């Protein structure tokens, strides 16, 4: 709630500043051409000078104060009893923090209860310091801007420069996010590779992190069965469903359907794309998987499992259909009409024209679309979590239960493991692999699409 | 080949939605000569041309009424298959539109879909003959596997003509085939038309009166969807019967 | 000469080609029917299982171990709080970034990197954003687990690229003549953009935002990473209270062994789909009503 209070205070100060500065600037007005900027811009200038320093101060303070609070708590006599290990210390402090914010929580470690009191007082103390800092920055900024309110002050261009900086900062968030993803994945993965060699992780064929203790830890983190399961479900089974259905839908919609059919079918396909994956996952688990199990039983399988690669892959394929269809739609639409006219004018039928002229011309775009679809399918989580299974195995049997990278990431991070165990860290290593693979697919696909578009423009 | 009538159109109207683009046009197209359609832009000459091989069918809102016959058969009759029709009435477009395939495959496409060639050797012969007739063989015989789109604009258009010839059509419709080309390439296409005219009935839409005068034996002048005047090229240009034709030819508008 | 095209062989071949044409066309129709049939089946099964479970008790209650008293209000409120955070962060940032990239950004290598970043972020698997949220917000900044604040932040990072991309397209669609007109009467570039371009692009931006928010509302995987799977017996009161969201509630209930929860799960899916369809409907309405074709 501190955030809300601070934001409200800053907004209030800014509003007051804007109003008073505007009023002051109006008094300076002596006639046409007497001022370099309108009064409103003087007001905005002052408001920006109040808000931006205050918000920067607040952001910095939010980032550093937890560390300061921790140090203050560690200086407390009770903290002398804390264990030396950084990891245990951190977990006790985290518990103390929980108790401090909500006294009804019962801490697992008694020491945490004793530290809760100093924690709370340190938090209050530093909270006040933070608020004071924010106020000082706001007032200092406002004061500076107040002295600038003069007839010859170019308030508008200053304000615009400030706005420009804000816009730039907003666009840098994207880079920051990317850097954040890469940094956090790489950092945790590096920790993981202290315990497990990258080689045995990437090439090992045995995955059972549950048994991973002691010297043979390397042998239990072989991720190949996970990679195989991911590829088998996402890039093979799902694509066998999605590519023909998506492509044929797009062909029908662009080449055959009249406007009326298109008007109804396209939004319907969009609904198919908008259904949340958890719904697909539940549908797979509730309806498709049992049907496939019964089918397997009728084929004479002994104890077929309810979870199967086929169930997950099939539903995932359906989920991807609209995606493939809309990518194919775009690519086909980008093929110049003159090209299909050329074929039709020679007496080719519609389907001959599509198969021999339109599709080959649209192929780069379609291939790129399929790559994006694969990237989406292998990153898909909920369907496999709910329908694919937990067993890591290397098999080509679609009726077998199979696990995937995303399933294991979820498996390793839900539950109450401590954060630094190899098991938890393995999730980040898997995440890094997933990120790199999808990144490569995306970059190639986006390049191909771009070049394809340029070719026909 | 004698100057027998190849195609006849009687009272043809073409509509785009509610808009009438062609109004009551009747015309005969003869074998063995070049017929030019001229007129200011938007006069409907291309629209009419596209109704001669039912390419207007590909535009959902287009509708053709009246009667167009090819060798006495109504091409809009229910028994007439547009696919078979277009094999007999080929078309060359305003902008060269080679398929994104090799030069060879561009030519082989038509014979292949229509099942004209008997085996590889036959196909090779057809490709060579079509390219030779289009005056392109000498330039491309060593690079038949190169992409058709890699050729120059003029070569691409000759490739498209060769592609049309390869099906051995009876009529070739050309929709401003030189408008995207430079003068030298245009001159080559015109020579080519001259060479081809004895074998086919050729209809060419052009916005250039000089071109019509150079290549055609018959000229039809269209204006605002009407066929204003139709006759021997020489007569239309030297001694137009209609004032509108005269005004257009002398550059009063256009 | 015309004999080639009237020969029996040609005619037989023609008949075959037309048959192939018909088959191909039917194949296309079949693909669409199959895809939409699947959607219909999904909706039918959810309605069949869940419709009976939707009553006041269900709509106003929170989670419970007892299927008959469990409801979705707690999760729905969690979703609402999470979406508020997501919208409050991703919308202003997304719009600002879109304006900058489309109108002001110099063509430098830096900006190229930003663009590549945004395009790729839009296609990064959502679970990766969950890992980011876990590593950065929870482990580094020590924010509370299971809280709408963290969930909203995580989803905001995921939604922002969608808003930037749709925003840029909307801004791009505003014709240059509008800019020229504003500049010609002496408006500054910033004024031109904020007074003229942005208002005209706003419907497009809003459409993109709603679609992005709808996606965030249906998202489960990243929230699983940051622990938003709390058992919430009473609705959360603030942005830092432990809470869950609608899709997560569906996931949690789907895991219950008690068959009675099938009704709850399906009913919750109906509620979620109603929300999503309303949002998408709004987006389509906005697009049709306000978007001017230039």
- Pairing mode of beta strands B19-30, B5-16: antiparallel
> Contact, A375 vs A438, CB < 8 A?
yes
Verify whether the Cβ–Cβ distance A252 to C32 is below 8 Å: yes
The token pair that represents C197 in the structure block: 């371009």
Tokens linked to A300: 């004479």
C231 pLDDT band, cuts 50/70/90, is: confident
Is residue C148 domain-shared with residue C7, that is, in the same domain? no
- The shortest CB-CB distance from B100 to any of A258, A341, A361 is to A361
Q: Return the residue of C nearest to B81 by Cα.
A: C14
Contact (CB, 8 A) for B31 and B1: yes
Number of A/B CB contacts below 8 angstroms equals: 69
- Closest Cα to residue B36, out of B243, B235, B159, B218? B218
* A406 in contact with chain C, both atoms CB, cutoff 8 A: yes
- Residue of A339, A349, A352 with shortest CB distance to B97: A339
Find the chain B residues whose C-beta atoms sit closer than 8 A to any C-beta of A.
53, 55, 58, 60, 83-88, 90-91, 93, 95, 97-101, 109-110, 113-114, 160, 163-164, 167
Q: Which residues of A touch C248 (CB under 8 A)?
A: 278
Q: Which residue, of C11, C38, C53, is where some domain finishes?
A: C53
Q: What is the C-alpha separation between B86 and B164, in angstroms, rounded?
A: 10
In this complex, do C119 and A270 lie within 8 Å of one another by their Cβ atoms? no
Neighbour subunits, C (≥3 Cβ pairs < 8 A): A, B
Please state the φ and ψ torsions of residue A335, each to the nearest 5 degrees.
-70, 125
Residue numbers in C near B83 (CB within 8 A): 14, 17-18
* Per-residue pLDDT, A219: 78
Domain identity same for C165 and C27: no
C13: containing domain:
2-53
Query: Hey, is the C-beta of A384 within 8 angstroms of any chain C C-beta?
Result: no
Lowest mean pLDDT: which of A62-66, A125-129, C173-177?
Answer: A62-66
HEC profile of chain B: CCCCEEEEEEEEEEEECCEEEEEEEEEEEECCCEEEEECCCCCCHHHHHHHCCCHHHHCCCEEEEEEEEECCEECCCCCCCHHHHHHHEEEECCCCCCCCCEHHHHHHHHHHHHCCCCHHHHHHHHHHHHHHHCCCHHHHCCCCCCEHHHCCHHHHHHHHHHHHHCCCCCEEEEECCCCCCCHHHHHHHHHHHHHHCCCCEEEEECCCHHHHHHHCCEEEEEECCEEEEEEEHHHHHHCCCCHHHHHHHCCCCC
Domains annotated on chain A, with CATH: 2-161 (no CATH), 218-455 (1.10.3720.10)
pLDDT confidence of residue A105: 65
CB of C153 closer than 8 Å to CB of C194: no
Whether B135 is in a domain gets the answer yes
Residue B55 belongs to some domain of the structure: yes
Which residues 91-110 of A are in CB contact (within 8 Å) with C? 94, 97, 101
Q: Which two tokens stand for residue A78?
A: 């009770």
State pLDDT tens for residues B85-127: 999 999 999 989 998 889 999 999 999 888 888 889 999 999 9
Tokens describing residue C117 = 């970043």
Domain end point (choices C53, C71, C96): C53
Picking from A258, A339, A348, the nearest residue to B113 by CB comes out as: A348
Q: Does residue C183 register a pLDDT over 80? A: yes
The mean predicted confidence, pLDDT, of chain A is: 86
Q: Given an 8 Å threshold on Cβ–Cβ distance, is C113 in contact with A175?
A: yes
Give bridge partners of residue B68 from the DSSP assignment: B9
- For chain C, what is the domain count? 2
Question: For residue B254, is it within any domain?
Answer: no
Domain shared by C252 and C107, yes or no: yes
Q: Measured between alpha carbons, how far is residue A171 from residues C112, C129, C188, C194, C215 in Å?
A: 11, 18, 21, 17, 21
Q: Which residues lie across from B35 on neighbouring strands?
A: B203, B218
Q: How far apart are alpha carbons A213 and C25 in whole angstroms?
A: 60
Rounded Cα–Cα distance for residues C74 and C285 (Å): 30
pLDDT at B1: 44
Using a CB–CB cutoff of 8 Å, tell me whether C16 touches chain B.
no
Same domain, C14 and C120: no
Answer yes or no: is pLDDT of B14 > 90. yes
CA separation for the pair B63, B56 (Å, rounded): 8
Residue A307 pLDDT level (bands cut at 50, 70, 90): confident
Closest-CA residue in chain C for B84?
C5
Q: Are C32 and C84 found together in one domain? A: no
Strand order across the B62-70 sheet: B19-30, B5-16, B62-70, B73-74
More confident residue, A389 or A183: A183
C227 in the same domain as C130: yes
Of B28, B35, B24, residue with least CA distance to B8: B28
List the CATH number of the domain containing C128.
1.10.3720.10
Query: In sequence order, what DSSP letters do the residues of A181-201 get, joined into one string?
Result: HHHHHHHHHHHHHHHS-HHHH
In a domain? residue B32:
yes
Show residues of chain C in contact with B88, CB under 8 Å.
2, 5
Q: CB contact, 8 Å: C8 with chain B?
A: no
Residues C99-133: pLDDT tens digits?
999 998 888 888 888 888 898 898 899 999 999 99
Query: Looking at residue A140, what is its pLDDT?
Result: 92
Domain co-membership, C94 together with C34:
no
* Chain C CB within 8 Å of residue A167 CB: yes
- Please indicate, yes or no, whether residues C140 and C259 belong to a single structural domain of this protein: yes
Domain count, chain B: 1
- State which residues form the domain around B217: 5-249
Count CB atoms within 10 A of the CB of residue A149: 20
Q: Is A300 on the interface with C (CB under 8 A)?
A: no
Pairing state between β B218-223 and B34-38 = parallel
CB contact (8 A) between residue A342 and residue B60:
no
**B156 found inside a domain:** yes
**pLDDT tens digits for range B221-235:** 999 999 999 999 999
Look up residue B136 and give its two tokens. Answer: 């392109």
CB C268 within 8 A of CB C250: yes
Question: Best mutation site among B1, B80, B115, B118 for testing chain C: the one with the most C CBs within 10 Å?
Answer: B115
Q: Which residues of C touch A287 (CB under 8 A)?
A: 41, 45
Residue of A nearest to B83 (CA): A347
What is A65-118 written as a DSSP string?
Answer: HHHHHHHHHHTSGGGGGS-S-HHHHHHHHHHHHHHHH-TT---SSHHHHHHHHH
C16 shares a domain with C69: no
Closest-CA residue of chain A to C46: A283
C18 touches chain B (CB under 8 A): yes
C117 and C180 inside one domain = yes
Whether chain B has a CB inside 8 Å of the CB on C24: the answer is: no
ipTM metric: 0.92
Torsion A346-A350-A355-A360 (CA) sign: positive
DSSP string, A17-73: HHHHHHHHHHHH--STTS-SS-HHHHHHHHHHHHHHHHHHHHHHHHHHHHHHHHHHH
As a whole number, the mean pLDDT across chain B is 90
- Nearest Cα to Cα of residue C89 among C192, C1, C4, C216: C216
pLDDT the model gives residue C250: 93
Give me the percent of chain A exceeding a pLDDT of 70: 93
The alpha-carbon gap from B2 to the nearest alpha carbon of chain C, in Å, equals: 14
Q: Do A346 and B160 touch (CB under 8 A)?
A: no
* Mean pLDDT across C22-49: 94
Tens-digit pLDDT profile for residues A206-261? 888 876 566 677 778 889 999 999 999 999 999 999 999 999 999 999 999 988 88
pLDDT tens digits, one per residue of A19-66: 998 888 888 888 777 778 888 888 899 999 999 899 889 888 877 777
| CB-CB under 8 Å, A345 with B60 | no
Residues C75 and C161 in one domain: yes
Cβ–Cβ gap A379/C124 under 8 Å: yes
Give how far C254 is from chain A: nearest CA, Å: 7
Top-confidence residue, A43 or C5: A43
Do C232 and C266 belong to one domain? yes
| B–C CB contacts, 8 A cutoff, strictly below | 23
Question: Which pLDDT value is given to residue C1?
Answer: 43
């Amino acid at each position: 709630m501190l955030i809300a209070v601070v934001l409200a205070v800053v907004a209030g100060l800014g509003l007051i500043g804007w109003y008073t500065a505007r009023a002051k600037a109006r008094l300076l007005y002596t006639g046409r051409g007497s001022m370099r900027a309108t009064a409103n811009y003087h007001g905005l200038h002052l408001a920006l000078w109040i808000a931006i320093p205050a918000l920067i101060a607040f952001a910095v303070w939010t980032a550093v104060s937890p560390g300061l609070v921790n140090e203050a708590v560690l200086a407390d006599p009770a903290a002398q009893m804390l264990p030396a290990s950084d990891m245990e210390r951190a977990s006790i402090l985290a518990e103390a923090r929980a108790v401090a914010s909500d006294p009804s929580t019962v801490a697992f470690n008694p020491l945490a209860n004793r530290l809760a009191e100093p924690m709370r007082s340190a938090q209050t103390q530093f909270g006040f310091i933070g608020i004071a800092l924010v106020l000082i920055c706001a007032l200092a900024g406002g004061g500076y801007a107040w002295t600038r309110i003069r007839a010859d002050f170019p308030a508008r261009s200053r304000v615009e420069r400030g706005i420009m900086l804000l816009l730039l900062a907003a666009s840098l968030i994207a880079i920051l996010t990317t850097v954040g993803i890469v940094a956090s994945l790489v950092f945790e993965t590096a920790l993981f590779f202290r315990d497990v060699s990258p080689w045995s992780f990437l090439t090992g064929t045995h995955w059972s992190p549950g048994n991973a203790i002691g010297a043979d830890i390397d042998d239990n983190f072989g991720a190949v069965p996970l990679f195989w399961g991911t590829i088998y479900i996402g890039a093979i089974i799902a694509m066998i469903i999605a590519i023909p259905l998506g492509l044929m839908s797009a062909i029908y919609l662009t080449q055959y359907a009249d406007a009326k059919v298109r008007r109804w079918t396209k939004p319907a396909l969009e609904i198919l794309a908008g259904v949340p994956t958890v719904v697909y996952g539940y549908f797979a688990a509730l309806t498709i998987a049992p049907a496939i199990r019964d089918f397997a039983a009728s084929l004479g399988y002994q104890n077929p499992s309810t979870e199967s690669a086929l169930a997950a892959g099939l539903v995932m394929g359906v989920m991807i259909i609209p995606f493939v269809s809309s990518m194919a739609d775009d690519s086909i639409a980008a093929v110049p009409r003159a090209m299909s006219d050329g074929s039709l004018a020679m007496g080719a039928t519609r389907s001959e024209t599509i198969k021999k002229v339109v599709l080959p011309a649209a192929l780069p775009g379609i291939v790129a679309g399929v790559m994006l679809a694969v990237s989406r399918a292998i990153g898909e989580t909920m369907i496999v979590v709910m329908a694919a299974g937990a067993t890591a195995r290397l098999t080509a049997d679609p009726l077998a239960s199979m696990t995937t990278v995303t399933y294991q990431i979820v498996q390793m991070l839900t539950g109450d493991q401590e954060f630094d165990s190899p098991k938890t860290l393995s999730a980040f290593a898997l995440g890094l692999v997933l990120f790199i693979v999808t990144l490569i697919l995306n970059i190639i696909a986006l390049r191909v699409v771009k070049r394809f578009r340029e070719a026909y423009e | 080949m004698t100057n027998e009538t190849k195609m006849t159109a009687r009272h043809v109207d073409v509509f785009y939605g509610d808009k009438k683009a062609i109004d009551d046009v009747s015309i005969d197209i003869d074998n063995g000569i070049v017929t030019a359609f001229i007129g200011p832009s938007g006069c409907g000459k291309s629209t009419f041309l596209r109704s001669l091989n039912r390419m207007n069918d590909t535009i959902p809102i287009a509708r053709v009424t009246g009667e167009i016959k090819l060798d006495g058969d109504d091409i809009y009759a229910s028994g007439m298959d547009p696919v078979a029709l277009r094999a007999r009435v080929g078309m060359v477009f305003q902008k060269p539109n080679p398929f994104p395939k090799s030069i060879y495959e561009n030519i082989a496409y038509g014979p292949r879909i229509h099942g004209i060639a008997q085996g590889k050797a036959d196909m090779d012969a057809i490709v060579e003959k079509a390219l030779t007739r289009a005056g392109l063989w000498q330039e491309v015989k060593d690079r038949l596997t190169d992409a058709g789109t890699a050729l120059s604009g003029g070569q691409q258009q000759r490739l498209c003509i060769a592609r049309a010839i390869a099906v051995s059509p009876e009529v070739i419709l050309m929709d401003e085939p030189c408008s995207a080309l430079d003068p030298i390439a245009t001159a080559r296409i015109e020579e080519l038309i001259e060479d081809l005219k004895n074998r086919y009935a050729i209809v060419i839409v052009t916005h250039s009166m000089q071109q019509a005068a150079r290549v055609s034996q018959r000229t039809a002048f269209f204006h605002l969807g009407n066929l204003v005047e139709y006759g021997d090229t020489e007569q239309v240009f030297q001694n137009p019967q209609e004032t509108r034709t005269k005004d257009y030819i002398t550059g009063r508008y256009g | 000469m015309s004999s080639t095209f009237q020969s029996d062989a040609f005619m037989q071949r023609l008949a075959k080609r037309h048959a192939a044409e018909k088959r191909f066309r039917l194949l296309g129709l079949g693909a669409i029917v199959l895809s939409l049939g699947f959607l219909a089946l999904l909706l039918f099964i959810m309605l069949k299982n869940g419709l009976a479970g939707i009553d006041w008790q269900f709509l106003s209650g929170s989670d419970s171990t007892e299927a008959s008293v469990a409801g979705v209000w707690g999760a729905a409120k969690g979703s609402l709080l999470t979406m508020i955070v997501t919208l409050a962060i991703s919308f202003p940032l997304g719009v600002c970034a879109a304006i900058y990239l489309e109108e002001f950004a110099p063509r430098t290598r830096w900006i190229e990197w930003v663009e590549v970043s945004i395009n790729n972020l839009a296609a990064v698997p959502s679970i990766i954003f969950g890992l980011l949220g876990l590593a950065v917000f929870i482990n580094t900044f020590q924010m509370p687990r299971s809280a709408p604040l963290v969930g909203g932040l995580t989803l905001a990072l995921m939604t922002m690229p969608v808003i930037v991309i749709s925003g840029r397209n909307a801004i791009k669609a505003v014709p240059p003549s509008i800019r020229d007109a504003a500049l010609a009467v002496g408006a500054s570039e910033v004024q031109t953009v904020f007074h003229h371009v942005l208002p005209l692009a706003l419907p497009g931006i809003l459409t993109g935002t709603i679609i992005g928010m709808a996606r965030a509302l249906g998202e489960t995987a990243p929230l699983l990473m940051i622990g938003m799977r709390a058992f919430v017996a009473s609705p959360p009161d603030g942005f830092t209270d432990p809470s869950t969201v609608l899709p997560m509630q569906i996931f949690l209930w789907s895991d219950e062994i008690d068959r009675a929860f099938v009704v709850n799960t399906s009913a919750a899916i109906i509620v979620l789909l109603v929300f999503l369809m309303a949002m998408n409907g709004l987006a389509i309405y906005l697009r049709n009503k306000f978007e001017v074709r230039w």
